[in-house]
């Protein structure tokens, strides 16, 4: 025994996800693209990878990806990949609590996107002129 406490599954799979996202962002920057493109590709790849791993782990009775990690990936932008993965792997499709949280995350994301668009085209009167979006 090494004397070190075992790592939690959440920490392990979060680290794996961060590594995938960081690698995709680095590849995007190296390839001359924006880090945002790398982030979207990375969060999507991490989401698909962890859903696929978790489905296989469920069948083989191995270390599972905690649901909170899958939900955080969806919340951070991986919800389209999560939706695709749920159908592709037929995973997490029947557990009601998981579905409720997943769709709640999607609704929150849609509200935030709608609010951002509204704010962009209808800035509040109290917003200083320097912070208003320019009409280009």
Provide the residue ranges of all domains of the chain, joining segments of one domain with +: 9-131
39 contacts 26 by C-beta, under 8 angstroms: no
Question: pTM for the whole thing?
Answer: 0.82
Query: Is the pLDDT reported for residue 18 higher than 90?
Result: yes
Q: How far is CA 28 from CA 23, 40, 47, in A?
A: 9, 10, 18
The band of 7, judged by pLDDT with boundaries at 50, 70 and 90, is confident
CB-based contacts of 7, cutoff 8 Å, min separation 6 = none
Query: Is the pLDDT reported for residue 136 higher than 80?
Result: no
CB-based contacts of 132, cutoff 8 Å, min separation 6 = 123
């Amino acid at each position: 025994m090494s004397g070190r406490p075992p790592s939690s599954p959440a920490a392990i799979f979060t680290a794996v996800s961060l590594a995938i996202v960081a690698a995709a962002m680095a590849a995007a920057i190296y390839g001359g693209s924006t880090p945002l493109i790398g982030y979207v590709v990375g969060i999507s790849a991490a989401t698909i990878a962890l859903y696929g791993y978790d489905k296989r782990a469920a069948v083989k009775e191995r270390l599972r990806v905690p649901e909170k990690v899958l939900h955080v990936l969806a919340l951070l932008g991986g919800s389209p990949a999560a939706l695709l993965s749920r159908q592709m792997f037929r995973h997490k499709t029947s557990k009601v609590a998981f579905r409720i949280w997943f769709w709640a995350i999607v609704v929150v994301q849609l509200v935030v996107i709608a609010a951002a668009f509204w704010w962009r085209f209808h800035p509040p009167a109290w917003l200083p002129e320097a912070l208003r979006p320019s009409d280009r």
